[in-house]
Structure formats: C-alpha cells, structure tokens
Amino acid sequence: MCLRPVTLLASLSLIMAAAVSPPLAAAELTIAPIRYHQRVLPNGLQVLSVEDHTSSNVAVQMWYHVGSKDDPQGRSGFAHLFEHLMFKSTKHMHAEQMDRLTEDVGGANNASTGDDVTNYFEVVPSNYLQTLLWAEAERLSNLTVDEKNFKSERAVVEEEYRQSVLANPYGKLFNEIDPHSYTVHPYKRPTIGSIADLEAASLANVIAFHDTFYRPDNATLIVTGDFDPQQLDAWVDRYFGWMTKPATPIPQVTATEPVRRKNRRYTVTSATAPLPAVLQTWLIPPAADAADSIPLQVAAALLAEGDSSRLYQSLVYRHQVAQRVGADADGRVGPGLFTTYAILASGHRPDEAEKLLNEEIIWLATQPIPAAELEKVKTQLLTAELIQRQTAQGIAFALGQATLIEGSPDRANTDLALLQQVTAEDIHRVMRKYVTGARSVTIDYLPQAAATPGAGKGEAK
C-alpha cells in the first residue's frame, strides 16, 4: 500500500463512531492531517518532523534515496548488502551497538531495502532522542567499510537468499517477478540480489557504492513523537550540519521501460514447491500518479483483500482450484506492477487458475461494482491506514513513503481523501487502461517433476 495512516485522534473518532452507529461510508470521514515541519540543511539533508506528545516515545528514521535499482551492473544485491553493513562498526561505535542503544532502553530498531529506497528506523523513549540522532549521523559519516565487515555481512545476505528464495517453496516464484516483468529498467534486478553477483563483488566496489549514495544530500531524516522542536533543530544542526555536500552529482536512473507490445509467458521450475502456481503482471504508472495509482490499489483490494474478495470466492471457495490467491498494485518511483497470482490446490493446473483469474479481472473491468462492496473495501483500506498512524513509527513511515516514493510529504494527507473519492468508474477506467487493455507477463511455476521442455524460456503470444 502507498496509502498511510493519519492521527490518533482521527483513529479514535472512527472507532467510537463505529461503536454507536452504523459504519460510515469512507467518503463521509473528515480526517485531521499530519502537521509536519520541513527543513533542508545547507548540505542537502532533508528533515521532516512531527511533534506529537500522545506517548513518551520518539521515532527516528533515516531514508536514503538508493535502492536495488541503483545496484551496479553485475552487482545485484548491493543496496541490500549495505543495509546490513550499516549495523556494523563505525569510528565511534562497536558492531551491533545500535541494538544496545535501542533495545537496552526498551526500544527497537530495524531496516529495509526496496527498489527505490533503503530506510533505517528506531523507536525509543524520547529522552534518548539525542543519542539516536548522534548514532544515525555517526553511521552516515564514519561507517567502517573494511574487509572483515564486508565478508561477514555478505555471508549473512547470501544465507538470507538461501532461506527466503531457495528454501521457501514459493520464494523463487516471487523473486522471478521483476526479472521477467521488466526488460530495460533496472527494476528487473531483484532486491535481494544473487549469490553469484555478491561473490563477484570486491571491497573496492562496496566503498565506491557507499561514497556514491550515502551522503547528506541523498538522505531524508524523519523524527516523529515526543520532542521539543527547537531542541530537535539544535541537535540536528549539531550532529548533521557539519557534514559537507559532495561536489559530485548523484547518479540517476534514466532508463525508460518500453510499453509492452505483446503478451509473454515463462515457465519457472522449483525443486521445493509441492504444488504449481501461476502469476501475472501488468505495467502501471509511477506512484506519483495519484489519480491512477490509488484506484489501482482499490482494484487490487477488490480482487484479493480477505476471504470475501472476488479471487478468493471464485478460485478458493467456489471452484476450489487454488489454496491461496493474491493481487497487488505495487507503486514505485518508476513504472510499477499490477500483479495477480494463484497457488493451486492439489490436482489442478496453472491454466485452470489463469482462466478464472482472467474472468474475475475482466468482470471487474467491465461490470457494475456493487456500491456496498466498493465502500467496504475502501473502509478496510482506510481503517488499516488510520490504525498504523496511531504510533510515532507509523506516522514516520507515512511521511517517508509519501516523500520518497510518491514525490511529496503532502501525499500522506491527500491520499486518504483521494481514496475515499474513488468510484466504480475510476476502477473500470484504470483496469481497462492498464490491465485488460494492456499486455501481460505470465509465469507458470511448476514443481520440477512436472516441468516441460523449454522451462525458463519465454514464449510470446
């Protein structure tokens, strides 16, 4: 989801209203906006903050404008590798000391890597805010990138690949989505990378990647929760303001993914999957295109959000050809993907599920959508976003997603209003434009015993 939650007050108002009256239609809700403050330091660091004294916690997040799309050619997995390296030693911190600075005071920390961004996030009691700001500045400016840290974290990432891709029966299926869905854009490189590319990397490659992308003018600092704004500004200036903005430009992805001219089909085999699966993708516009990206999210929810969704009712309940179904509108800085899939029930084939998937897609694109069904799904999406924003961490994620993926922190507020305004006509329009009126990529995922000659090769149709 690109949509993110709002304020505790708005969430509690929604819950209380539901307790004393029939559920409101999504369009009837008035939601208080996230009131954020924004500043940019002379070195280019963007700082977003939201003062909220609802609890005594504070969330600190560092978002870097670098993801797997920025991996060097032949070095897939570099952005993900660096996510791990940032938890190792610095000039003034021991390896894994971020755990001690957060977990030992009752807080938590973690990080994630995506196609477009890498983010590091912590939540701690607010009296430890100064320490966390120092720590984030320390690992931005003084990270120890040496052979020991490089090799140890490369081994960790390779083991993560073995567990999440090779050992997971359907990990390989989802890892193959991007390589088969994109032909030119570097999104075609999976975020987790490959063992071969990671093994081919050198320490010099890693140092160059760090110097290129980990810099103040390629980062956004987000602080939300219980803090004094003047004190926050003073600490940010103290710990980040001294850093200089590099003279070299930040490399930008300029590749343009071409419009698909024909449908393509691929067969992927698995040594661990007990049952076949089928998956389809279509190209959709960047997340910045709110007019289309938000209706596409609602369309995906209509297809696969919960047991009452259209795909579940058709494939799992009525026809019993699948044991798991899904749909997703994955918005990115560049072209995203609309995806549907089905993991089959015993004794059924991918073509059976594909036929039913396409029937439901066409029905959604062309036939009237009951008002009650549409309102239910929009309310589900809106409620999930409101619940997430009950915490400082959730508010920070809302701002980060809006700023780095959707193009402006304002989207954290405006998306919720746009969601409530989505109509059946909007759903029909985007489905016809990007799905039923466009070309697809289909992946037949087969246990190796059921594989056919030519497995792994694409066939146009």
Buried b (16+ CB within 10 A) or exposed e, 164-190: ebeebbbbbbbbbbbebbbeebbbbbb
**Domains of the chain: which residue ranges?**
33-240, 264-460
pLDDT of 131 > 60? The answer is yes
Q: What is the pLDDT of residue 145?
A: 87
Contacts 24+ apart (CB under 8 A), 376-380: 377/298, 377/301, 377/302, 377/305, 378/26, 378/298, 378/419, 378/420, 378/422, 379/23, 379/24, 379/25, 379/26, 380/301, 380/305, 380/306
Query: Residue 59: CB partners within 8 Å, gap ≥ 6?
Result: 121, 122, 123, 222, 223, 224, 225, 391, 392, 393, 395, 396
Amino acid, single-letter form, for residue 301: A
Fold match between domain 33-240 and domain 264-460: yes
pLDDT band at 282 (very low <50, low <70, confident <90, very high): very high
How far apart are the C-alpha atoms of 270 and 333, rounded to whole Å?
Answer: 31
> What is the C-alpha separation between 414 and 417, in angstroms, rounded?
5
User: How many helices, marked H, and strands, marked E, lie in the chain?
Assistant: 17, 12
How high is the pLDDT of residue 73?
86
Q: Can you identify the CATH homologous superfamily of domain 264-460?
A: Metalloenzyme, LuxS/M16 peptidase-like (3.30.830.10)
Residue matched to tokens 């660096």: 82
Q: In a 3-state reduction of DSSP, which class is residue 90?
A: strand
Rounded-to-integer distance, Cα 141 and Cα 93, Å:
12
Cα(237)–Cα(124) distance, rounded to whole angstroms?
A: 21
Amino acid 450: pLDDT: 59
Residues 37-86: tens digit of each pLDDT: 999 999 999 999 999 999 999 999 999 999 999 998 888 888 999 899 99
Position 454 confidence tier, pLDDT thresholds 50, 70, 90: very low
Report the pLDDT value the prediction gives residue 456, as an integer from 0 to 100.
45
- Cα Rg for the chain, rounded, in angstroms? 23
Q: Which fold has domain 33-240?
A: Cytochrome Bc1 Complex; Chain A, domain 1 (3.30.830)
- Residue 2: band (very low, low, confident or very high) from pLDDT cuts 50, 70, 90: very low
3-state secondary structure of 365: helix
Residues 214 and 238: their CA atoms lie apart, in Å, by 19
In this predicted structure, what is the pLDDT of residue 21?
44
Half-sphere exposure of 213 (CA within 13 A, CB side): 28
Paired tokens of 417: 């209003």
Q: Which of 270, 284, 262, 283 is nearest to 343 (CA)?
A: 270
* pLDDT surpassing 50 at residue 13: no
Amino acid at 171: G
443 strand-pairing partners: 266, 279
- Residue 16, pLDDT above cutoff 90: no
CA 198 to chain centre: 23
Q: What is the per-residue pLDDT across 290-336, written as a single tens digit (0 to 9) for each?
A: 999 999 999 999 999 999 999 999 999 999 999 999 999 999 999 99
Average pLDDT over residues 372-387: 96
